[in-house]
Amino acid sequence: MIVVTGGAGFIGSNLVHGLNAKGRDDIVVVDNLENGQKFLNIQDARIADYIDQDDFLDWLAETGSDGIDAVFHLGACSDTTEWDGRYMMDNNYQYSKEALNICLAYQIPFIYASSAAVYGASTDFSVNIGNERPLNVYGYSKALFDQYVSRKLSQADSQVVGLRYFNVYGPREQHKGSMASVAYHHYQQIQQDGVVRLFEGCDGYGDGEQVRDFVYVDDAVNVNLWMLDHPEVSGVFNCGTGTAEPFNHIAEAVKDFFAKGETEFVPFPSHLQGTYQSYTQADMDELRLRGYLQTFHGVDPGVRRYMDWLIKQPQR
């Protein structure tokens, strides 16, 4: 049995489908379906059971290691504009600590979602626990848990892996609203009026020239599946492509796919000033040194694959 928390969310639901593709359907999905639209992400997936996130920790403690091969802990509040620190720390930090400690007690492999938000304004994207510089409370919640994990690793008798996801985009993110990827918003915009919109320049970057490490979601899933097959690997790792590309490349890839469209630059939002990452680029050396050799999609092929998936989806 494999447990996926956040299994109806973005990366989680894609991981469930990835596990199905490997022949696994003994999957327990844990989530909070208060946003009922998320069920669309798993309606065609093969799962064994569903558990609400409020019931999961008790279930895990009672079930123990009885048939559980691994816990993928992807459930979290991922809204970088959420400033309720008490909620964020309870949901992302305390809940994760409790899940980790139960898994450690029963020696259940624990593979969890961290985030590139831990780096904040830093230009050093090597995994260096304790040197994080988050710009928001979401990034802080993830950085603090990474630090907690690093103190536990030397005593762990089972696999513990943290994956610091950079800017992930791809299928099954529509429920995220404003937090969905730029690629998804561009798809919506070009369908509506043929104009894709990007922020004007900031932090010394020109219009749409802020650069980030954009990761196609299937590549993120592949890293998770590789970790499942390599229980001897533990630690905190970056999950990106290792290449930074400007937001303009996303816009151009979407316009090229549809062979139409213009780009409009909108004023940089005041509420994001001082909390926005204008540059990210994963240092992938540590993951590569551990033996992960698969390639990652660049923006052009990744966006084309995503747009092709989107246009095939039924309109809801």
- 154 CB neighbour count, 10 Å cutoff: 6
Residue that is written with structure tokens 């599946």 in the block: 225
Q: What is the CATH number of the domain that holds 104?
A: 3.40.50.720
More confident call, 94 vs 278: 94
Q: What is the pTM of this model?
A: 0.95
- Full domain range(s) for residue 140: 2-166+217-239+284-290
Average pLDDT of span 97-103:
98
Tokens of residue 84, six digits: 């309720």
Please choose, from the candidates 164, 124, 161, 160, the residue with its C-alpha nearest in 3D space to the C-alpha of residue 142: 164
| Percentage of the chain exceeding pLDDT 70 | 99
> Are residue 28 and residue 156 in the same domain, yes or no?
yes
Read off the pLDDT of residues 116-158 as tens digits, 9 standing for 90 and up.
999 998 899 999 999 899 999 999 999 999 999 999 999 999 9
> Are residue 53 and residue 125 in the same domain, yes or no?
yes
* Residue 138: active-site member: yes
Read off the pLDDT of residues 20-76 as tens digits, 9 standing for 90 and up.
999 999 999 999 999 888 999 999 999 999 999 999 999 999 998 789 999 999 998
Predicted confidence at residue 254, as pLDDT, reads: 98
Catalytic site residue from 138, 140, 184, 306:
138
- Residue 296 inside a domain? The answer is no
> Are residue 161 and residue 192 in the same domain, yes or no?
no
Query: What sign results for the dihedral spanned by CA atoms 71, 72, 75, 81?
Result: positive
> Are residue 8 and residue 104 in the same domain, yes or no?
yes
What CA–CA distance (Å, rounded) separates 288 from 291? 5
pLDDT at residue 77 above 90?
Answer: no
Catalytic site residue from 50, 176, 205, 292:
176
What CA–CA distance (Å, rounded) separates 18 from 7? 12
> Are residue 120 and residue 250 in the same domain, yes or no?
no
- Diameter of the chain measured on Cα atoms: 56
Predicted confidence at residue 55, as pLDDT, reads: 98
- Residue 262 inside a domain? The answer is yes
Q: Residue 316: pLDDT band by 50, 70, 90 thresholds?
A: low
> Are residue 146 and residue 115 in the same domain, yes or no?
yes
Predicted confidence at residue 274, as pLDDT, reads: 77
> Are residue 252 and residue 204 in the same domain, yes or no?
yes
Average pLDDT of span 244-260:
97
What CA–CA distance (Å, rounded) separates 55 from 10? 21
Average pLDDT of span 193-209:
93
Number of domains in the chain: 2
Average pLDDT of span 253-279:
91
Across 277-281, 287-291, 304-308, least confident range: 277-281
pLDDT at residue 315 above 80?
Answer: no
- Residue 295 inside a domain? The answer is no
Q: Which long-range contacts (CB under 8 A, 24 or more apart) does 292-295 make?
A: 292/223, 292/226, 294/219, 294/222, 294/223, 294/226
Predicted confidence at residue 247, as pLDDT, reads: 97
- Residue 189 inside a domain? The answer is yes
- 10 Å CB burial of residue 54 (0-12, 13-18, 19+) is exposed
The torsion angles phi and psi of 243, rounded to 5 degrees, stand at -130, 130
Tokens of residue 204, six digits: 């010394």
- Residue 202 inside a domain? The answer is yes
- Residue 316 inside a domain? The answer is no
Q: What's the one-letter identity of residue 144?
A: L
Q: How many CA atoms lie within 13 A of 269 on its CB side?
A: 7
Predicted confidence at residue 121, as pLDDT, reads: 85
Read off the pLDDT of residues 23-34 as tens digits, 9 standing for 90 and up.
999 999 999 999
* Residue 255: active-site member: no
> Are residue 59 and residue 188 in the same domain, yes or no?
no
> Are residue 97 and residue 72 in the same domain, yes or no?
yes
> Are residue 268 and residue 126 in the same domain, yes or no?
no
Q: Which residues of 27-45 are buried (b: 16+ CB within 10 A; e: fewer)?
A: bbbbbbeeeeebebbbeeb
What CA–CA distance (Å, rounded) separates 13 from 15? 5
Contact 108, 160 (CB under 8 A): no
Q: Residue 272: pLDDT band by 50, 70, 90 thresholds?
A: confident
Predicted confidence at residue 24, as pLDDT, reads: 98
